[in-house]
Homo-oligomer: A and B are copies of this chain.
Amino acid sequence: MPQDQLTLDDQLCFAIYSANHAFTRLYKPLLEAIGLTYPQYLVMLVLWEQDDQPVGAIGERLFLESSTLTPLLKRLEAAGYVRRTRDPADERQVRISLTEHGRAVQALTRDFPRCIMDASRMSRDQLMALKREVAGLRDAFMGKGTPGG
């Protein structure tokens, strides 16, 4: 095998790809207990941080398009986690707000970080450092890196 051949396991992209799937599988049983899928949980994280946002703002936070979010949000609405209401001041916008139930569910996620930390066999500091590096890579890919560098 020529030395310049890229094997699968050399690829950072595959490490990230497969780690993402591993995360999804790790969260699955935790999230099933509260009735959410993994992308739905990410949307809830956005709303727990700041309630009552238009679809586009949620998409900016998660880097997702309306074509992804609209059906997802309709499912969250049907399941009773959020409300979707046209903004009276600008009827183009649909504002997403938490229901009582949607707010209450946050309490049930309190021990998620410990579950993740236990499964990772890494310390909180190691996880935070890794998070910073991966987020930095993402931002560089999206042109948000230090422009002068």
Contact = CB atoms under 8 A, between A and B. Distances in A.
A22 B116 contact: no
Contacts of A62: 8, 14, 18
B134 A120 contact: no
Most chain B Cβ neighbours within 10 Å, of A26, A120, A141: A141
A121 B149 contact: yes
Interface residues of A, number: 56
A136 to B, nearest CB: 8
Given A25-B141, A121-B149, A130-B134, A20 B11 contact: no
B138 A15 contact: yes
A22 to B, nearest CB: 4
Number of this chain's copies in the assembly equals 2
Given A4-B110, A42-B17, A138-B19, A12 B133 contact: no
A94 to B, nearest CB: 20
Interface in A1-55: 1, 4-23, 25-27, 42, 45-46, 48-49
15 contacts: A4-B110, A8-B45, A8-B46, A10-B128, A14-B62, A15-B138, A18-B63, A19-B137, A21-B63, A22-B138, A119-B140, A120-B141, A121-B140, A121-B146, A121-B149
Which 7 A/B pairs are nearest by Cβ-Cβ distance? A19-B138, A22-B141, A12-B131, A15-B134, A15-B135, A20-B20, A22-B138
